[in-house]
């Protein structure tokens, strides 16, 4: 059994309406046919600003292909900016080669998503 872990630092923002890489959250899984890595993207204090029910969506890609599982948040009022902890957990089957996992993010409805506390991407295999 092993693990890998990366963490952001400083403030990050996006207002992209489509998924883009989340800077600093990229790791490599080992080879391991028949095993599954449990990949966790943890965003303890994200928030979004905007005037049209702001929010953010988070995902991962494996070797450049986005997986279908996503996590996210949006506000039920037009002009909110409360912090909403968000976590995504995905099982990734290991293969005969190393695989690169990249965290992804995007905004909802033209908002700006802000991360100003450390966020992590980790895998246990």
Phi and psi (nearest 5°) for 93? -60, 130
Q: What is the pLDDT of residue 86?
A: 98
Q: What is the pLDDT of residue 71?
A: 98
Q: How many structural domains does the chain have?
A: 1
Residue-by-residue pLDDT tens, the chain, 125 positions? 899 999 999 999 999 999 999 999 999 999 998 999 999 999 999 999 999 999 999 999 999 999 999 999 999 888 777 899 999 999 999 999 999 999 999 999 999 999 999 999 999 99
Domain harbouring 22, CATH code: 2.60.120.760
Q: What is the pLDDT of residue 55?
A: 96
Residues of the domain holding 10: 3-124
Residue 65 contacts by C-beta under 8 Å, 6 or more apart in sequence? none
Is 103 within 8 Å of 58 (Cβ atoms)?
yes
């Amino acid at each position: 059994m092993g693990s890998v872990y990366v963490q952001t630092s400083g403030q990050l923002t996006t207002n992209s309406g489509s998924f883009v890489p989340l800077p600093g959250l990229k790791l490599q899984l080992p080879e391991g046919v028949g095993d599954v890595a449990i990949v966790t993207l943890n965003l303890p204090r994200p928030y979004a600003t905007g005037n049209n029910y702001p929010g953010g969506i988070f995902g991962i890609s494996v070797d450049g292909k986005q997986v279908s599982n996503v996590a996210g948040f949006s506000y039920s009022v037009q002009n909110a900016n409360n912090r909403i902890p968000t976590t995504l957990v995905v099982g990734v089957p290991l293969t005969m080669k190393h695989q690169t996992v990249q965290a992804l993010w995007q905004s909802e409805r033209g908002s700006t998503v802000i991360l100003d506390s450390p966020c992590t991407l980790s895998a246990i295999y």
